[in-house]
Amino acid sequence: MRTRLIKIFVLLTVLTLFAAACSSDGGTTTTEATDGATTTEATDGATTTEATDGTAEDGPTEVSIGLVLSGVKEESWVSSMLETLNRIQAESPHGMTVNYEYFESIEYADGARVIGDLAASGKYDIILGHSLFGESVAQVNDQYPDILFAFSGSGNDGNSGDNAYWIDAYTHEAAYLTGVIAGMMTKTNKISGVAAFPTPNVNAPLNGYIAGAKSVNPDVTAKVTYLESWFDPTGAKESATAQIAAGSDIIYAEREGPWEAAKQHEGVYVIGHWSDESSVAPEVILTSTLALWDPAMNFLIETWYAHEAAGTPYDAPSDRIVYSMADGGCDIAPMSDLVPADVQAKVMEVKGEIMNRELEIPLNPAPIE
Amino acid sequence: MMDDIFTHAFAIAVLAAAIRIATPLIFGAIGELVAESSGILNLSIEGTMTVGAFAGFAITGETGSLWLGVAGAVFAGGLMGAIMAFMCATVKVDQIVAGLALNLFGGGLSFFLFRTVFSDQASTGMRNVGVFKVPHFWGLSDIPWVGEIVFSQQWLTYVAFLSVPLVWLFLYKTRYGLELRSVGHNPSACDMRGISVPQKQYFATIFGGMMAGLGGGFLTLSTTGLWFPELISGRGWIALAIVIFGNWRVTWILAGAVFFGFLDGLQLSLQAVGFALPYQLLLALPFVLTVVALVVNRSRSNVPLSLAIPYRRGQR
């Protein structure tokens, strides 16, 4: 009997510790949100709309954004979104205070539950699932008509409408510019990429990069390794090592890790992706493709503001909301001094053509053979 | 394209990668073999590696010393092993449940500590604590083929390969090793002979945890210097599969780890030269082979007979 009690005690202790470790993942406790899954919160939202009915000019002074993240905030896909929010916070649209809170490492299977909990808590005006959370949002958005829901990235087709918005960032134009660097700088005429899965959001920038390289150097051949994992820096480094052994001297790091392989080989350079990654390996990173979520996020905030201040109904399009490079949807990070001046000049020239819409870079989401 | 494959550079790249990729698998699998030899099925290798990697990352980040980080990884892995041993050898809970719980605990705890110790809300930059340099052995590293494949590896890779014969000597040529294996097969007979069953199981499980911690330390301090919750990416589970694949024999476990490393290295190199073979097939092959090995070895299995069965004196 006594041993059984001890056993139960030990198991409970482990589970409690685990629960404690889990709940602190996101910065705030999700348990609160679960408790609030009653109807009281729903009426909260209703009262705010009533209050704003009278005076349309007196808009809200504060907007709270809840972010559901599939990874952790340092992963470049995630950090590109957080950097956007930091910029919007500083810009303060309509003089509003912009607050955001994020919840990291949420499994897709838990998406609907977590997003539902956040909505029920009544603390958030905008809830964004940053990744394949389209279906999760579609399961809960009907119950909270005053909250603006959103999800981002490819693979979310068929889930937007009403108060559920689909935003995306196309980076192929900026990636094309990094390809110009690669095409001009490669000595072996072999360039490569290390990528996650062959999905449209992954393939499109790689195809842009290859097209950019071929535009300045038709002799270039390009190979891409798919890791079949969203996050595996060790595998990414190993893939890059194999690419270097096969003769490649410029590597597009669609995922974190390849720069560690480049550091060990003379004359091999890396291009970062999603966020500016130069700080992690300044000795080998030439530049980075930047996904700028700013126009899409500003659109969401404006839409929410119009709904709150003037009662404009939510009416999300069935297609994604996405902005080209000329409209501020992507860019490249400042180029490293490792990039020769003539190459930098060529990049700025091509960038100018894209920005004034003389040059159109086609979007090609096909996997690279 | 075929010209790209039948080259020295290709063969060297694949074989050197096989040894690198095998390193954390050897740490995990050899440690697990010792634990399982004493009858403890420790399913928490993945979580233990995560904790070990975090300890290595954190201590190196704080002190700037990679070797102190390695020591921290070993120590943290040993602590995880000690928790597992306490649950299985002292309070004798279900080993499967305890192992799975510890996996979740290890992942959650290290992420929690990572967030409390290292990150502030607004920063989005990755922290890189640095990695070991590849040692250059004067003369040896310059030999064609062998030098590039064998003598251009990380220090910890040599430690992993050296641990294999040492563990074999320990398990099969020492009295303590014999007693440890006997505990895994027939604990009540050992108990009758005056051998302390929990003591052997504590030793074996803590050793297994230390090895897994070292494997985790390798994955951060010898590869990228980064730490993230998903860093181990299933390598702990592959190590568990290798123990089964190797039929609980030291030599076969080593062969299994190197073979798994070879398949992965081959798949990466084939992708790098643009070979049209579906690489997903090679990624899945290790697991298919593990199932095949289980079936083939079913009548000659070396599995410790009391594996995962808690030993209670006077009960059977």
Domains of chain A by residue range: 7-169+293-310, 172-291+339-355
The answer to whether A283 faces chain B, any CB pair under 8 Å, is no
Asked whether the domain spanning A172-291+339-355 has the same topology as the one spanning A7-169+293-310, the reply is: yes
Q: Which fold has domain A7-169+293-310?
A: Rossmann fold (3.40.50)
Which class for A349: exposed (0-12), middle (13-18), buried (19 or more C-beta within 10 A)? exposed
The nearest CA of chain B is from the CA of A1 a distance in Å of 12
Contact B103, B43 (CB under 8 A): yes
The secondary element (H helix, E strand) that includes residue A164 is strand A164-167
Contact B279, B271 (CB under 8 A): yes
Task: Select the residue of A11, A18, A71 nearest B108 (Cβ to Cβ).
Answer: A18
Partners of B119 on chain A (C-beta within 8 Å) are 73-74
Question: A141-186: per-residue pLDDT in tens?
Answer: 999 999 999 999 988 889 999 999 999 999 999 999 999 999 999 9
Does the pLDDT at position B4 exceed 90?
Answer: no
> What single DSSP character describes residue A151?
E
The answer to whether B171 faces chain A, any CB pair under 8 Å, is no
Residue B119's pLDDT is 66
Tokens 């510790």 locate to: A17
Contact A220, A211 (CB under 8 A): no
Question: A47-60: per-residue pLDDT in tens?
Answer: 343 444 444 457 89
Pairing of strands A190-195, A250-253: parallel
Count interface pairs A-B at CB distance under 8 A: 155
Residue A3's pLDDT is 57
How far apart CA B22 and CA B7 sit, in angstroms, is 23
**Residue A281 tokens, joined:** 């390996």
The secondary element (H helix, E strand) that includes residue B59 is helix B45-63
B214-229 average pLDDT score: 93
Binding-face residues of A in 82-121 toward B, CB within 8 A: 82-83, 86, 105
Contact B251, B169 (CB under 8 A): no
Task: Select the residue of A78, A246, A257 nearest B272 (Cβ to Cβ).
Answer: A246
Residue A53's pLDDT is 43
Question: B42-82: per-residue pLDDT in tens?
Answer: 999 999 999 999 999 999 999 999 999 999 999 999 999 99
Which residues have C-beta within 8 Å of that of residue A221, sequence separation ≥ 6?
A189, A190, A191
The domain that contains B219 carries what CATH number? 1.10.3470
The secondary element (H helix, E strand) that includes residue A64 is strand A62-69
Does the pLDDT at position B84 exceed 50?
Answer: yes
The secondary element (H helix, E strand) that includes residue A288 is strand A285-291
Does the pLDDT at position B145 exceed 70?
Answer: yes
Does the pLDDT at position A46 exceed 80?
Answer: no
Mean pLDDT of chain B, nearest integer: 91
A8-35 average pLDDT score: 45
Number of alpha helices (DSSP H) and beta strands (DSSP E) in chain A: 12, 11
The answer to whether B19 faces chain A, any CB pair under 8 Å, is no
Half-sphere exposure of B131 (CA within 13 A, CB side): 28
Residue type, position A106, single letter: I
Binding-face residues of B in 124-143 toward A, CB within 8 A: 124-128, 131, 134
B51 versus B147: which is more confidently predicted? B51
Contact B178, B204 (CB under 8 A): no
How far apart CA A343 and CA A340 sit, in angstroms, is 5
Name the pLDDT band for A308 (thresholds 50, 70, 90): very high
CB count within 10 Å of CB A95 equals: 7
Does the pLDDT at position B297 exceed 70?
Answer: yes
Task: Select the residue of B124, B128, B273 nearest A223 (Cβ to Cβ).
Answer: B273
B125 and A260: CB-CB below 8 Å? no
Residue A2's pLDDT is 54
Question: B113-142: per-residue pLDDT in tens?
Answer: 998 877 665 667 788 889 999 888 888 888
Tokens 């030439």 locate to: A286
Which residues have C-beta within 8 Å of that of residue A167, sequence separation ≥ 6?
A150, A151, A152, A293, A296, A297, A299, A300, A320, A321, A322
Which range, of A188-197, A252-261, B12-21, B272-281, averages the lowest pLDDT?
A: B272-281
Task: Select the residue of B108, B131, B269 nearest A246 (Cβ to Cβ).
Answer: B269
Strand order through the sheet with A126-130: A97-103, A62-69, A126-130, A148-152, A164-167
The nearest CA of chain B is from the CA of A296 a distance in Å of 20
Contact B190, B89 (CB under 8 A): no
The nearest CA of chain B is from the CA of A188 a distance in Å of 14
**Residue B91 tokens, joined:** 């309070």
Contact B98, B35 (CB under 8 A): no
Q: Which fold has domain A172-291+339-355?
A: Rossmann fold (3.40.50)
Binding-face residues of B in 44-103 toward A, CB within 8 A: 86-87, 91-93, 97-98, 101-102
Residue A12's pLDDT is 56
**Does residue B127 sit within a domain?**
no
A102-124 average pLDDT score: 93
Does the pLDDT at position A26 exceed 60?
Answer: no
Task: Select the residue of B108, B224, B229 nearest A237 (Cβ to Cβ).
Answer: B224
Does the pLDDT at position A27 exceed 80?
Answer: no
Does the pLDDT at position A21 exceed 50?
Answer: no
Tokens 């020591």 locate to: B71
Domain count for chain B: 1
The answer to whether A142 faces chain B, any CB pair under 8 Å, is no
Name the pLDDT band for A30 (thresholds 50, 70, 90): very low
Structural domain for B77, as ranges? 2-117+138-296
How far apart CA A109 and CA B147 sit, in angstroms, is 48
The answer to whether B272 faces chain A, any CB pair under 8 Å, is yes
The answer to whether B266 faces chain A, any CB pair under 8 Å, is no
B101 versus A132: which is more confidently predicted? B101
Q: What share of chain A is helix, strand, coil (3-state, %, to 5)?
A: 45, 15, 35
Half-sphere exposure of A361 (CA within 13 A, CB side): 35
Does the pLDDT at position A37 exceed 50?
Answer: no
Pairing of strands A62-69, A126-130: parallel
Residue B5's pLDDT is 75
Q: Which residue, among A265, A225, A226, has the nearest Cα to A244 in the 3D structure?
A: A265
